[in-house]
Amino acid sequence: MAAPGRETAARRAAAGAGILAALAGCGDAEPGGSPRASDGTATSAGAGAGGQGGGASETPVEAILAELRADRDAALLAHAARTGWPVPVDGGYLFVSTSASLRLLAGEHDGWTGAEMTGDAGFHWIVLNMPAGARYKFTDRTAWAADPWSRACTYDEFGEMSLVAPREAHLERHFAVGDAAMAPRTVRVWVPEGAVDRVLYVHDGQNLFDPAGPAGGWHLQDHAPPGVLLVGVDSTPARLAEYTHVEDRIEEGGALIGGEGDAYADFLRDTVRPFIRARYGEPGPIGIMGSSLGGLIGFHAAARHRGEYAFAASLSGTMGWGSIGADVRHETMIERYAAHTERAATLYLDSGGGGDCVDGDGDGIEDDDPAAADNYCENLQLRDVLTRVGSPYVEGESVFYAWHAGATHDEAAWAARVADPLRIFEAL
């Protein structure tokens, strides 16, 4: 998701508006698609982590149906948090569709023919016994949709597929993770096959895994090294505020915006990480990664909670935030890291774009070429700060920098190079 850099006022305004969009992701309904699964091996749960399993306690079907009739959405959310959908019950699993038209459940278990679900008070339901890892969708035999409440899912050539109790590599989703300071949001987890030996927290979770995401998404699961648990934390409409450590101004004459980065970094440490630790464990090196403003907030979190993260990666990070407005002189990440006498973490930073890096307004940040793109100058200056004589960071050991000349500021460009920081993290 693009973030504003020092560009024209119009371009900054457009970028700022675009930042606020919250995008769809794993498990969201897809109205079209094919009923058939791919011929490949079904990906499913592994590593003994957080999906539904045969050992889950079973709630009587009638008790769950009563909850759904009383308050459908609250019951859906409660059981999504407890066991995940579909819910294990006596006789198999309880599946629920809230679509008025998608009243058949089809999957690998029945050759994608579809079984009629029972109509009820604003939902349809069915109990079926399916094997672990089975794929399914809701359908009317014309439209096909993944289960928007399923805990586990994967993707194939027909799009998103919901999974039952997977045991191989797969994606899982947890709804409404929040705290007193941060609005609830979805947390998406790539669960690798086999043992987990390290965990990487990544911002803008809704853009990471879904091939139907913006610009094709990151396809992050396709680059995941063995043993890495990837935790994608969704952004919200408050992204610009949450992902920035200080206020800044991105439109001439506009209001100061941003500055809730401390609360977001604390939310990761005090709410998201304990949530993941309780369900999956949190072994080995812990990393944090993001793009654009996500790269900025990752570096902020690594510096704010020094020692909590072994690795911080930024792709096209907005490292000049704090000095974009002509009259704004707040601390940038360049200045913060220039003051470091001890390492915060092993660092990776990059950008595409290019430009002439000049400090035309004398604020110490070389970001005043209007033709510069993709935060190139700010990241180059940060690289120079990190690798200067006397810095606690050593190039090629604790700081890694890459320039992808002309690369654009979008998910497709980040997907094309995200394997690089993942390899560095894998080697820690």
Q: How confident is the model at residue 214 (pLDDT cuts 50, 70, 90)?
A: confident
Q: Give the pLDDT of residue 385.
A: 98
Give yes or no for residue 3 having a pLDDT over 70: no
Q: How confident is the model at residue 19 (pLDDT cuts 50, 70, 90)?
A: very low
Which fold would CATH assign to domain 9-24+170-427? Rossmann fold (3.40.50)
Q: Domain locations in the chain?
A: 9-24+170-427, 61-145
Give yes or no for residue 176 having a pLDDT over 90: yes
Q: Give the pLDDT of residue 269.
A: 98
pLDDT tens-digit readout, 290-344: 999 999 999 999 999 999 999 999 999 999 999 999 999 999 999 999 999 999 9
Q: What is the pTM of this model?
A: 0.88
Give yes or no for residue 234 having a pLDDT over 80: yes
Across the range 414-418, mean pLDDT stands at 98
Q: Give the pLDDT of residue 8.
A: 31
Q: Give the pLDDT of residue 125.
A: 98
Q: Give the pLDDT of residue 50.
A: 52
pLDDT tens-digit readout, 248-270: 999 989 999 999 999 999 999 99
Give yes or no for residue 131 having a pLDDT over 90: yes
Lowest mean pLDDT among 4-13, 212-221, 372-381: 4-13
Which residues 6+ apart lie within 8 Å of 276 measured at CB?
A: 187, 189, 199, 229, 231, 282
CATH of domain 61-145: 2.60.40
